Amino acid sequence: MGVPTQHRGLVGLRLHAQPGDLARIAPLASCAYFLDVDGTLLEIKPHPEDVVADGTLRTLLAELAGAADGALGLVSGRAIADIDRIFAPLIFPAAGLHGAEIRCPDGTRSSPPDGAMDGGRRPIAGFVAAHPGLRLEDKGVALAIHFRQTPELGDEVLEFLGTVAQSAGLAVQQGKMVAELKQARHDKGKGIAALLANPPFSGRKPVFIGDDATDESGFLFVNARGGVSVRVGPAGIASDARYRLHDPVEVRAELHRLLAEG
């Protein structure tokens, strides 16, 4: 299956990956796999704390990591501690909080200093309290406002966070029914780059599968490295990813085929 060129950011030019494509274009023996969690490996739920991997998915990921000689990492907007909760007792290399936290394969970790969100924490808490239906998730080095229960407030949330970000020298990251205040220098592309610099990832072709606007920096990074980028979701969404899978069910099915054929 050929890769279209001159497609960046356009709608409808990504190819829908066919069954078995990953095994053909991105074999486990030579690739480094980076996987988003919510909306990619697992379905999104109204409450983030309700998301948990079942035994079938945990076994699949453990076997994929073994077949790739350990070159499998998780890349998420969640904190690494929350990633570990979802996949317990498994522990994977990970980039958490959109690349702000890194856990390398040897277990060494890096994270931003505390206090970056102090200037925004009180006004954001007040804004959320004044708008029933919004939910504040304090991740320490990022602050997320979930508006899944009140989608009509999405524009107002983004406008408010934009004002806070401008005054505090921070950035706003928009996702599916959520917007986050975070440090501008961190993104998933940089998180993948940090993991890829370490064995067993180094020297392999990077593959990144994600589902959201928060994953676009990762797609751009792996594209620049000659890798494979896959956006999860319906056709017609603008993305820099070069391939598409429809939903987490299709992702898991394709990963099973990758393991069987790769």
Q: How far apart are CA 260 and CA 249, in angstroms?
A: 17
36 is catalytic: yes
Indicate the length of the chain as a whole number: 262
Residue 232: CA count within 13 A, CB half-sphere: 26
The strand pair at 178-182 and 15-16 is best described as unpaired
What are the residue ranges of helices labelled H in 139-247? 154-168, 188-196, 216-224
**178 - beta bridge partners?**
146, 175
Residue type, 94: A
CA-closest candidate to residue 258, choices 66, 104, 87: 66
Of the candidates 36, 82, 84, 211, the residue annotated as catalytic is 36
Please list the active-site residues: 36
